[in-house]
Structures are given as structure tokens and as C-alpha cells.
Amino acid sequence: MKQYCRYCGFCSEVDSGYYCGEHEKMMSESQIKRANNCKEYGYTDVGDVISGGQYHPRMLPPLRKGEDVSELYRQVELFEKEANP
């Protein structure tokens, strides 16, 4: 799961933008929408600070009918194997 400040429990909306209570700094809307690697990240299921919407991770596209999964994830060989005479 990617981390976004807008889903963190330490992020709150104030008059002039958004405030991170853990780092004690102000942030803009574009900053809280970016993915981050914050060690103090605390996911909250309350939802997005901006809209209140829940986080929904992206789903992988479904395989097409008849598509072989083993072909998609097969091991790549760097050198061709020599045939034994």
C-alpha cells in the first residue's frame, strides 16, 4: 500500500492548508496528495482529509481469455542452451 499524507491520522486541515502534527509543519494540497515514505505514517480508516473518501488500491487488470499466466512470469534466459550432441 502506498502512503499518502491525506490518509494519515496526523494530517489535519487548518485555515491556511494542511498540518502534519508529527512533523509539526504546514503542507499544501499538492504535497499531501504525493506518495511518501514517512516512518511516522499512521493509516486511519476515517478517510481522505480532503473528501473523506476511503483508500482503494489499484486492481490488476484481468487476464484475457486464453492468456497463459506462466508465459507472463517466466524466467528470462540470458544465454541459449547448447544442444548435447
What confidence tens digit (pLDDT) does each residue in 26-70 have?
Answer: 999 899 889 989 898 888 877 777 777 787 767 777 767 766 666
Residue corresponding to grid cell 494519515: 8
Strands 25-27 and 17-20: antiparallel
Instruction: Give the count of beta carbons closer than 10 Å to the beta carbon of residue 4.
Output: 19
Which range of residues forms the domain containing residue 58?
Answer: 3-72
Asked if the structure places residue 83 within a domain, the reply is no
Residue 82 forms part of a structural domain: no
**Could you identify the residue written with the cell 481469455?**
65
- Cβ contact 32:6 at 8 Å: yes
pTM score, whole prediction? 0.58
Q: Is 25 helix (H, G, I), strand (E, B) or coil?
A: strand
How many structural domains compose the chain? 1
Residues 1 and 36 sit within 8 Å (Cβ to Cβ): no
Q: Is residue 31 in some structural domain?
A: yes
